[in-house]
Amino acid sequence: MKINEKMYSLGSRRSIIREIFEYCKTRAAEIGADRVFDFSIGNPSVEPPREIAEAIARLIETESATLLHGYTSAQGDYSTRLAIAEDINSRFGTALSPDNLYMTCGAAASLTISLRALMNAGDECILFAPFFTEYRVFVENAGGVPVVSAPEAGSFQIDISDLAGKITERTKAVIVNSPNNPSGVVYTDKTLRALTDLLKEKEREYSHPIYLIADEPYRELVYGGASVPYLMNYYDDTLVCYSYSKALSLPGERIGYIAVSPKMQEGTEVYLAVCGAGRSLGYVCAPSLFQRVIRECIGAKVDIGAYEKNRDLLLNALTEYGFECVRPDGAFYLFVKSPEPDAYKFFERAKRREILVVPCDDFGTPGYVRIAYCVSRERIENSLPAFEALAREYGLKG
């Protein structure tokens, strides 16, 4: 009997990000880690807040080990969901209850569960370019069809007129990611109002819900006072896919949640479908210890000052060398226009100088690369002469 071809091809061809990340590890073993300028992956470089280690120690000291390491409810520990609901309500004026929340193994699980809960075979899900590469995999795995909407030129905000042409009767969901991976762009209030007004209009036209999936792992990583509107307050049919991977520098602990808006049409059914999708995918009972750690650390924050300083250093230097960069107000990525049309050729030329960036063709934006600046300041400082030489090679600098 044959195995599943689709799964085989996903497993045998890693994502472009992982491919480059693995190359960096091999290269570092050959020439030394300090000589490889690895800007490939979004692994936080800032330590988790002190409260995390303290909460782990306290919980191990004070709680029963069988309870702490045991199964929780499939949808997550009640006291954790209550603490998260109260926190969101106090910050954004929502009316969430624990029964609107489902604890997950990070944003990837939040997205796969939500899509599985919503999509029927052939339903369309709109992705706004540039988008996180795995969205395609997640949508297709849920039986859906990804439809890409092009961004507004230059600003990389959502292009509402392009979107209007992409919504059809088959549109079941849209995925909004702000602050954005890979552009670092934070969608403005104006963009989000226009987006949600259009979605409301289309819901009325087609007489069925179009769900807005807000993928928000970078919500807390914003600079210079940029604000990230809470989409449930703009649009009732919203599910928020949250993760502590970046917000608390805990990507390896696999912890996050789905929040289903309490104002959603058929919200109870959608929440139950989320529980059903979690069950069918085997995503029940997110890591028990870390559910409790999150409960104990509501309000804890990482120090994002280091990311902001990295952003400024890299943005200013690369702009001075003549590269065309999109100014990022959030996340920890710099989105740079390739000096030649084929970003893979630029990638190869950068690689010869031991600079590893990610071509963004798979993010829906050929001709651009992503530089993950969640690295030590030293790595950025040491890489600058190589970036400058690369700019000269392209004749960017006078």
Q: Which residues bind ligand PLP (CB under 6 A)?
A: 42, 106-108, 132, 177, 181, 215, 217, 243, 245, 251, 256
d(CA 278, CA 102): 9
Sequential DSSP letters for 102-126: EEESHHHHHHHHHHHHH--TT-EEE
Please say which residue, 106 or 328, places its beta carbon nearer to ligand PLP: 106
Please say which residue, 96 or 214, places its beta carbon nearer to ligand PLP: 214
Please say which residue, 184 or 256, places its beta carbon nearer to ligand PLP: 256
Q: Would you say 302 and 83 are in contact if contact means Cβ atoms under 8 Å apart? A: no
Distance of CA 388 to the CA centre of its chain: 30
CB of 108 to ligand PLP, least distance (A): 3
Taking CA 220 as the corner, what is the angle to CA 215 and CA 225, rounded to the nearest 5 degrees? 120
Please say which residue, 119 or 390, places its beta carbon nearer to ligand PLP: 119
Please say which residue, 132 or 235, places its beta carbon nearer to ligand PLP: 132
Q: Tell which residue, 388, 379, 395, has the closest CA to residue 321.
A: 388
Reduced to 3 states (helix: H, G, I; strand: E, B; else coil), residue 101 is strand
Exposed, middle or buried: residue 93 (CB in 10 Å: 0-12, 13-18, 19+)?
exposed
Please say which residue, 251 or 328, places its beta carbon nearer to ligand PLP: 251
CB of 348 to ligand PLP, least distance (A): 24
d(CA 139, CA 145): 7
Q: Which residue is nearest to ligand PLP (CB)?
A: 106
Q: Would you say 242 and 81 are in contact if contact means Cβ atoms under 8 Å apart? A: no
CB of 136 to ligand PLP, least distance (A): 12
Q: Would you say 69 and 397 are in contact if contact means Cβ atoms under 8 Å apart? A: no
CB of 42 to ligand PLP, least distance (A): 4
Measured in residues, the chain has a length of: 398
The residue type found at 194 is A
Please say which residue, 124 or 215, places its beta carbon nearer to ligand PLP: 215
CB of 132 to ligand PLP, least distance (A): 4
What tokens appear for 306 in the block? 């280091």
CB of 243 to ligand PLP, least distance (A): 3
Please state whether the peptide bond connecting residue 130 to the residue before it is cis, i.e. omega within 30 degrees of 0: yes
Taking CA 181 as the corner, what is the angle to CA 286 and CA 238, rounded to the nearest 5 degrees? 60
d(CA 146, CA 132): 12
Q: Which helix (H) or strand (E) holds 190?
A: helix 189-206
CB of 241 to ligand PLP, least distance (A): 7
CB of 320 to ligand PLP, least distance (A): 28
CB of 292 to ligand PLP, least distance (A): 18
Please say which residue, 203 or 329, places its beta carbon nearer to ligand PLP: 329
Identify any residues that bridge with 337 across adjacent strands, giving them in sequence order: 368
Please say which residue, 243 or 338, places its beta carbon nearer to ligand PLP: 243
